[in-house]
Amino acid sequence: MASTLPWELLRTFLGVLCEGSLSGAARTLGLTQPTVGRHVAALEQALGQPLFTRSSTGLLPTEAARGLRGYAEQMETAAAALQRAATARDEGVHGTVRVTASEVVGVEVLAPVFADLRERHPGVVLELALSNQLQDLLRREADIAVRMTAPEQGQLIARRVGDIELGFFARPDYLDRQGRPATLAELRGHTLIGFDTVTPFIRAGAKRLGGITRETFSVRCDSDLAQLALLRAGAGIGVCQVPLAARAPALERLLADQFSWPLQTWVAMHEDLRQNAACRVVFDALVEALSRHVAAA
């Protein structure tokens, strides 16, 4: 076996592990598919054993590959930390910080925070990855995450900023036309706006919805932003964050004594970024802004 394994080969190996194919890894890593294939072959030759077998669904890792994954991920973490340290400068705050958050939080809450950060720290490059899927901070899919569940991974610095309450809302003119439901059961006589795909998050909160299921909704959409836009357009009744409902055009809350869904709100980042000045200023700005958002309820 070769005495030294180039990091580039291990990086490609991780990409194939995660994507399950040479083409998928090539897209993720910004390489050509033949290059990915050569990297895998070179690593297999250096190790003296196969790492993947072909199947109808893609490339399957061998037992040897599964055993190497944890070590390769540790190297990836160390490489990312080294890159952050190398790009830091003594004068001012510089560097690239990638933040992940849900669509609605990113657009409605974080956009002005980013504007303020750029004004105060022009040397900081900001990336905003909006998704309702959790990004893995340990694998550096993002530097900082805004999450609505408590982080469970080790090696994370996490700050709980409070609870964002969800409730049922509608535009007042819709309610003037269609009437105001007095009970959860009466919601079924209205145009309800809600989810299309049942996710683990939805399943966890299903009991709070009082028996409301996907089939109950007249308008279905998995985008939180689209649901908010539909509520603001007066399309029907739906679930909304209490502080967002207070913004123009103001939405009217319904059944507050019968339905409330508090979401724990956290800001988290990898502990290796503790000394990174750019990550610290962004982390602190997010904590401050989200604390104000929670308090607005």
pLDDT tens digits along 265-276: 999 988 888 888
pLDDT tens digits along 74-124: 888 777 767 666 655 445 788 899 999 999 999 999 999 999 999 999 999
Check residue 90 and give its pLDDT.
Answer: 45
pLDDT tens digits along 131-158: 877 655 656 678 899 988 887 766 788 8
Provide the Cα torsion 154, 157, 160, 165; round to 10°. -70
Query: pTM of the entire structure?
Result: 0.67
For residues 280 and 251, give the distance between their C-alpha atoms in angstroms, rounded to a whole number. Answer: 36
pLDDT tens digits along 213-261: 788 889 999 899 999 999 999 999 999 999 999 887 889 999 999 999 9
Closest CA to 121 of 291, 290, 293, 281: 281
Q: Are 278 and 122 in contact (CB under 8 A)?
A: no
For residues 54 and 97, give the distance between their C-alpha atoms in angstroms, rounded to a whole number. Answer: 37
For residues 192 and 216, give the distance between their C-alpha atoms in angstroms, rounded to a whole number. Answer: 7
